[in-house]
Amino acid sequence: MASSVNGTILLSFLQLFAQEHANSVKLMEITNSVREEKYFHTLIFISHPRTEEDETSFDLDILSKLVMENLEIPMLQWRKCSTVHLPIEIQRQIFAMVTLVGKKTKDKKTLKALWQSMRRIVTTRILLLTKESGSNEDYLSNIMGYCIENKAIQVLAMETSSNSESKIFEPEIFPKFKLNSYNIEAKPRFLFFKNLYKDMKGQPLNIAIMNRSSRAYSLREVDDQVYMGGYLGHLFTVFAEKHNSFIRKPAATENLPYYFLNSKSLEGLFANRTYDMMAEFSMDILHSNIDFSRIYDLVDLCLMVPVEKPVPLYKLYSITFDPSMIALLFSSTLIFAVLVALTFWIRDSPISLQDILVNVYVFNGLLGQAFPMTRTYAGLRSFVYLLICIHGIIFNTTLVTFLQTMKTSPLMERPIRNLADMEAAHLQFAILKDEYEAQINKTALQDYKHMAYVMANKKEFFTLRNNFYSRYAYVVPSDRWMLYEEQQKYFVRARFRLSKMCFVKIIAVSVPLQANSPFKTTLDAMIRRLNDAGIIKFWKSMAFWEALKMKSLQLRDTSRIYRFKPLALEDIRLLATLFGIILSFNCFCFFMELCWFYRIPLKLPLPKIKSFKGKKYLTWKS
């Protein structure tokens, strides 16, 4: 009797061992199939210790041995609710198996520990292991609904039975959650982890559309559906169409017009999970609790400065009579005065130093004016006078030609190329207060802060920049400058140009998404395909025409047209000032001549020397 009982127990153990071995072999085959679908380099097996209470536990030793011998995959074993923080970069290449014990609280605690270890759980493939039970399907529906709610969408459940048949449970999200079951033995080419968001079956996308954005904006609205424009907005429209979805009209748009947003603003935007994505650029901030798409564009943040203005007309005379011209005039006067004096010295005529240094007649001749000559003069002197006349014609013609040329084609002021030019021109640059505070300690803006004109009113800032108000320079992203550059091609004369003074150079910008966003993988794949096909570049080329259609840009020419005008009285202010100074000096000299001629005594106190006791003293006569 005892031997019969022992034999029965032995057969039960052998049957249990064979069943566990068969289940382990089945798991190894599934692991290999999953790896062929999409590569992973680490297998994580999460289980509870085997107890009499938990009859659904798998034998980890058998599974570990089979995986290590046949697949050569590194394997981690976690017991209970272990928490290990794994780098974000490797979470995409992890396959996790989790054994369920059939107790909701215990199993959810185990899954929560897994999600705490992986911040990007949406990319990790998870296989839940359970054994056949009467109410197993309802229980799995509850557990897998819990997974989907916490963004663990790459999840399957495997149920093993005593007849060596395995059943796979797969969730379906749209249009509402339900659980589908398959017998993998009946489907030899079964695809385990499908893209659950490939077909959203008409469910909406909630996208935060920014105010005043030139990259993504509402192009038209039909009922509750929004069609977006802009070279970024087209991405969301195409994404929604490809995945059988539509963009829902938001209840309110956010007034965040710049891509350079801080992490607090972004986290606050996605805090209540109202929005799935944001229709604006931002940087991939690694320490923020949100997701970002792959790089969509490279953006510079530079200063657009006013184009050089023509030199004022009253400065043309000072430019024409530059120091070299004045030096040439006076040196020629001195040379010709010496030559004229030599002609007198050859004839033994008396000459004075005053005739050489101050010869007004020669100076008049060099200016092209009439000047007196001696009544009888030798041939050499006449040749000198002829040279003076020719020199006067050349000098006067050249001077007038330069003046008229600069009048018809005015010279431009010095272009603004760097900070020193801005300081010399007393030109400040306008920047929004929010952006100034975000960049002041992170970018090259620190060197330019003393020239910054910080504006808190965003509407005023955009109005001034869009209308090319030339009192300030403006901070502008490179993609927005493309629109301004295209717009100014329709002006008679460009009003602004993009300088090389940049605060941020070649910054990679992406689309912000919710943390653990299920759209990240498909969105990244679409951005990669659009870039390879050149579609994004085409959208950028069409952004200007779309902006005109939306009337956010106008072709109204606000540039100043410079036409030829005759000189006015205010254009000779420098000459008038010089004439006034000379006239005042002449009047003073004339007055002194009169005083000298008529000997008008000047009642000025003059000193008088007196002597007292052999010593001389200086006294003043009253």
As a whole number, mean pLDDT of residues 182-204 equals 78
Dist CA 45 CA 413 (whole Å): 73
Dist CA 452 CA 445 (whole Å): 9
Banded model confidence at residue 306, pLDDT cuts 50, 70, 90: very high
pLDDT of res. 19: 54
Dist CA 397 CA 243 (whole Å): 77
Residue partners of 111: CB distance under 8 A and separation at least 6 = 98, 143, 146, 147, 150, 152
> Average pLDDT, whole number, for the chain?
78
Give the residue from 171, 180, 167, 178 showing the smallest Cα distance to 152.
Answer: 171
Pairing of strands 225-229, 246-248: antiparallel
> What confidence tens digit (pLDDT) does each residue in 533-590 have?
999 999 998 989 888 888 878 888 877 665 656 666 666 777 788 888 888 998 988 8
SS (HEC) of 310-321: ECCHHHHHHHHC
Two structure tokens written together for 195: 């893209």
Dist CA 514 CA 150 (whole Å): 12
Two structure tokens written together for 548: 């005109």
Check residues 107 and 24 and name the one with the higher pLDDT: 107
Q: Residue 17: pLDDT above 50?
A: no
Residue partners of 51: CB distance under 8 A and separation at least 6 = 57
Give the residue from 205, 204, 207 showing the smallest Cα distance to 253.
Answer: 207
> What confidence tens digit (pLDDT) does each residue in 115-168 have?
777 766 777 888 888 876 655 778 888 888 888 888 888 888 888 765 556 788
Query: Residues 222, 248: contact at Cβ < 8 Å?
Result: no
| Residue 53 per-residue DSSP state | S
Residue partners of 304: CB distance under 8 A and separation at least 6 = 465, 473, 474, 476, 481, 484, 496, 497, 498, 499
Phi, psi of 585 (to 5 degrees): -65, -40
SS3 552: coil
Dist CA 471 CA 412 (whole Å): 17
Question: Worst-scoring range by mean pLDDT, 56-60, 223-227, 435-439?
Answer: 56-60
Highest mean pLDDT among 282-286, 316-320, 560-564: 316-320
Give the residue from 303, 312, 306 showing the smallest Cα distance to 410.
Answer: 312
SS3 content of the chain, % helix, strand, coil (to 5): 45, 20, 35
Two structure tokens written together for 89: 């970069």
Q: How large a percentage of the chain has pLDDT more than 70?
A: 77
Residue 332 CB coordination number (10 Å)? 18
Highest mean pLDDT among 105-109, 254-258, 295-299, 319-323: 295-299
Contacts 24+ apart (CB under 8 A), 357-364: 359/333, 362/333, 362/336, 362/337, 362/388, 363/333
Dist CA 437 CA 449 (whole Å): 11
For 17-183, CATH gives 3.40.50
SS3 303: strand
pLDDT of res. 360: 80
Q: Which helix (H) or strand (E) holds 443?
A: none
> What confidence tens digit (pLDDT) does each residue in 36-74 have?
777 777 888 887 655 544 545 456 666 666 666 676 777
């007309």: which residue's tokens? 313
Dist CA 81 CA 107 (whole Å): 10
Q: Residue 258: pLDDT above 70?
A: no
Dist CA 472 CA 470 (whole Å): 5
Angle at 11 between CA 9 and CA 14, to 5 degrees: 110
Dist CA 153 CA 170 (whole Å): 10
Domain boundaries, the chain: 17-183, 313-408
Check residues 96 and 357 and name the one with the higher pLDDT: 96
